[in-house]
Amino acid sequence: MRTLEEKATSEWIRFQEEIGIDILVDGEQYRGDMATYFAENLEGTEISGLVRSYGNRYYKKPIIVDELKRRGPISVDWFTFAQAQTERPVKGMITGPYTMMDWSFDEYYGSRADACLAFAKLLHEEAVALEAAGAKVVQVDEPALSTRFDELPLLVKAVGIVTKGLTAKTVLHTCYGNYNEIFDYFNQLPVDQLDLEMSNSGLDLLERFKREPLKKEIAFGVVDVHSHVIEPESLIRERIEKALTIFSPAKLYIDPDCGLKTRSVEEAQGKLRNMVAAARAVRKARGLT
Amino acid sequence: MVQTTVVGTYPRIGETFEEQALRRGIARLDRGEIGEADLQVVERDTVRDVLREQNEIGIDLVTDGQISWYDSQSHFAGKLTSIEINGLVRYFDTNTYYRQPVVSGAVGWKEPVFVDEWKFAQSNSKAPVKAVLTGPVTLASLALDKHYRSKKTLALDLATAIGEEVGTLVQAGASHVQIDEPILTRHPNDLSLVSESLERIRSHKSSATLTLFTFFGDVATIYKDLAEVPADILGLDLVQGSATWTPLAKHGSTKPLVLGLVDARNTKEEDPAAIAKKALDLKSAIDLKSSYLSPSNGLEFLPRDRARKKLRILRAAAKKVGVGA
């Protein structure tokens, strides 16, 4: 299995290089599910049966049955493997503490805050290990960010524990939430860059960003990862141009709304190819490097 | 003795090959290998299994598990006039997502949506099958309204459409109809709108029993007024909504209640004796004999094996209430 996972990882690294992506990911070919992967590599957890997320998508949910402990590095060897295949930076990818807590059943802590902060402590160790292994960018994925607005202070605290003291560029990714409700927290998030799904939300947020500027970099999702349709370059270009009416080019990164694992290989490649082509066309038209 | 019921959803798949037929069927439909009619056969097999599991455990009032629903919002809304279904949005504070209904014109009921599903389910269940519909105020709140620009007007039109649907269900033989309004746990101020819309639905229910269910949180601040809504039974989430317990114990209820005491969002197993004790603590405040014990919300947030365990806990707790009553 490891051989096949390495082969798939190498292929995706090569593909991203070939089409000209600047900051790469390892494609998480070895992760069944983003929360389960970290949970099954920690002590104190069991993995449940399948639970539905939406449509025909299911995942095995972690169950916290004892005190959480880290046995050792979790994703570092895969980061090292992927980074060795390319000169370009590969992102270290961590599922955030709030999402780990929210997507786990808790039979031990009995308090969402306690479980979340326990995850944060262990994921900080993982982030430090990724940085030590050479990660120039560490991304914390928090798709559960907008789950409970009253818990946003907890999320800010927990992500702050994960990113504390890192010199690598830190990114927080989130998706599919009511951004208007959480907008006030965007500038409080203890990361350098915010990565948002924008095309699925119909670019609704742009007006708000115009009124209330983001003080961080933004990674701006321009292709819908839940649609079979491969967006044409012209449409993506329009979306990037719209983003540039609000964000300065130096602070704007272009990416898909979210991970592409729910798409076929052809769809994923088509979306990424058009995305890169659109970004290049915009750069050229505006004389950007 | 107190009775037992479920709230609505049931896990669609389990861990065994046989229990994953629906997942395979949908994947085959997506790949174009089978058609809608073939998938319906698989869905109905799953509904039969879900009903059998509830019947075997001894649940008194069951549901079809909402197996054929894509989600709680788009399944019904998508079949009304002037509603299109759009992208994914998180469903309350769960790890699940619904496709958002987008309202572009006057909303109206076209044809029965649930009647065939309900008839099939009832013909495969010893216990009565409760027809469950998402309430108009929750539907209106979670939709993207590009037409009415008024939640109230949209909700009342949706209530009229739901009323039509309820009428067809009752005509088909449904004796229990449940309207879910989880939005009340987030927007208690919507209570008067919920009441007004329930009046419209109630006029179609004939002799059927109408339940209003709120879940995903508490209704403590509005409990006293909530007890007066035009429904026959009130369903309460007393786990995530444990704060409702205090006003409930204080004011009691003249209506029968569905007491959502078994946690449907966590795998941790409750002690049936502890659940029974909680119910018995209400002995002087409510009529336990006409009330029900239930999970705190739909069971789809649990793996199937854990959902079954929770139902067994529920049944065991109800038996203990019977002994202690």
| Digit-coded pLDDT (tens) for B213-244 | 999 999 999 999 999 999 999 999 999 999 99
Structure tokens at B249: 């114990």
Pick the residue with more confidence: A176 or A145? Answer: A145
| Rounded Cα gap, residues B193 and B159, in angstroms | 10
| Rounded Cα gap, residues B37 and A131, in angstroms | 53
Cβ neighbors of A132 (< 8 A, separation 6 or more) are: none
Average pLDDT rounded to a whole number, residues B260-285:
97
- Chain A touched by B11 (CB under 8 Å): yes
> What structural domains does chain A harbor?
2-26+68-101+110-286 (3.20.20.210)
Cβ atoms of B110 and B80 closer than 8 Å: yes
ipTM (interface pTM):
0.92
CB-nearest to A51 from B30, B90, B302 is B302
- On whether residue B139 sits in a domain, the answer given is yes
Sheet with B131-134, strands from edge to edge, namely B3-4, B292-295, B257-262, B233-237, B209-214, B176-180, B131-134
Q: Residue B242 burial by CB count (10 A; 0-12/13-18/19+): exposed, middle or buried? A: middle
| Rounded Cα gap, residues B254 and B266, in angstroms | 31
Give the pLDDT score at A198: 85
- On whether residue B81 sits in a domain, the answer given is yes
Q: What stretches of chain B show up as alpha helix (H) in DSSP?
A: 21-30, 36-57, 74-77, 115-122, 136-142, 151-172, 191-202, 223-226, 245-251, 272-281, 304-324
Average pLDDT rounded to a whole number, residues A152-180:
92
Give the pLDDT score at B147: 97
pLDDT at residue B126 greater than cutoff 70 = yes
| Rounded Cα gap, residues B181 and B175, in angstroms | 20
* 3-state class (DSSP) for residue B268: coil
- On whether residue B27 sits in a domain, the answer given is no
- On whether residue B177 sits in a domain, the answer given is yes
Give the pLDDT score at B159: 98
Rounded alpha-carbon distances, angstroms, from residue A225 to A201, A216, A258, A259, A264: 12, 24, 6, 7, 10
Average pLDDT rounded to a whole number, residues A264-275:
93
Q: What stretches of B173-271 show up as alpha helix (H) in DSSP?
A: 191-202, 223-226, 245-251
Cβ atoms of B262 and B239 closer than 8 Å: yes
Q: What residues form DSSP beta bridges with B262?
A: B295
- For an interface test with A, the pick among B88, B92, B271 (most A C-beta atoms closer than 10 Å) comes out as B88
Share of chain B above pLDDT 90, in %: 96
Cβ atoms of B274 and B298 closer than 8 Å: no
| Rounded Cα gap, residues B239 and B245, in angstroms | 9
- On whether residue B269 sits in a domain, the answer given is yes
pLDDT at residue B212 greater than cutoff 60 = yes
CB-nearest to A56 from B15, B23, B96 is B23
Structure tokens at B58: 């001894």
| Rounded Cα gap, residues A279 and B107, in angstroms | 41
Give the pLDDT score at B323: 67
User: By residue range, what is the domain housing residue B137?
Assistant: 3-13+58-324
Cβ atoms of B285 and B262 closer than 8 Å: no
Quote the number of domains for chain B. Answer: 1
pLDDT at residue A157 greater than cutoff 80 = yes
Q: Using CB atoms and an 8 Å cut-off, which of residues 224-263 of chain A contact chain B?
A: 224, 226
> Is B267's CB within 8 Å of A146's CB?
no
End-to-end CA distance of chain B: 7
CATH code of the domain containing B308: 3.20.20.210
| Rounded Cα gap, residues A125 and B325, in angstroms | 54
Give the pLDDT score at B325: 52
Give the pLDDT score at A24: 94
Structure tokens at A172: 């927080």
pLDDT band at A226 (very low <50, low <70, confident <90, very high): confident
Least confident of A57-71, A194-208, B81-95, B146-160: A194-208
Cβ atoms of A176 and A195 closer than 8 Å: no
Average pLDDT rounded to a whole number, residues B14-33:
96
Which residues from B are below 8 Å from A224, CB to CB? 87
Q: Given the structure tokens 């038209």, which residue do they identify? A: A285
Q: Residue B191 burial by CB count (10 A; 0-12/13-18/19+): exposed, middle or buried? A: buried
pLDDT band at B95 (very low <50, low <70, confident <90, very high): confident
pLDDT (tens digit, 9 = 90+) per residue, B140-169? 999 999 999 999 999 999 999 999 999 999
Give the pLDDT score at A203: 64
Handedness of CA B52, B55, B59, B64 (dihedral sign): positive
- Report how far Cα A122 is from the mean position of its chain's Cα atoms: 18
Cβ atoms of A243 and A252 closer than 8 Å: yes
- On whether residue B266 sits in a domain, the answer given is yes
Q: How far off is chain A from B325, nearest CA to CA, in Å? A: 31
Give the pLDDT score at B292: 98
Rounded alpha-carbon distances, angstroms, from residue A275 to A264, B50, B74, B224: 16, 44, 30, 55
Mean pLDDT of chain B: 96
pLDDT band at A197 (very low <50, low <70, confident <90, very high): confident
- On whether residue B9 sits in a domain, the answer given is yes
Q: Given the structure tokens 């990862």, which residue do they identify? A: A225
Q: Using CB atoms and an 8 Å cut-off, which of residues 48-107 of chain B contact chain A?
A: 70-71, 87-90, 93-98
> Is A48's CB within 8 Å of B15's CB?
no
> Is A105's CB within 8 Å of B97's CB?
no
Give the pLDDT score at B1: 81
Average pLDDT rounded to a whole number, residues A23-44:
93
Cβ neighbors of A261 (< 8 A, separation 6 or more) are: A28
| Rounded Cα gap, residues A34 and A143, in angstroms | 10
| Rounded Cα gap, residues B305 and A49, in angstroms | 8
Give the pLDDT score at B90: 85
CB-nearest to A50 from B15, B30, B90 is B15
Q: What residues form DSSP beta bridges with A3?
A: none
Average pLDDT rounded to a whole number, residues B27-46:
96
Give the pLDDT score at B87: 84
DSSP count for chain B of H helices, then E strands: 11, 10
> Is A51's CB within 8 Å of B88's CB?
no
Give the pLDDT score at A227: 85
| Rounded Cα gap, residues A226 and A236, in angstroms | 16
Q: What residues form DSSP beta bridges with B237?
A: B260
> Is B303's CB within 8 Å of A61's CB?
yes
| Rounded Cα gap, residues A234 and A236, in angstroms | 6
Structure tokens at A184: 């006030």
Q: Among B269, B272, B255, which residue's Cα sits nearest to residue B314?
A: B272
- On whether residue B294 sits in a domain, the answer given is yes
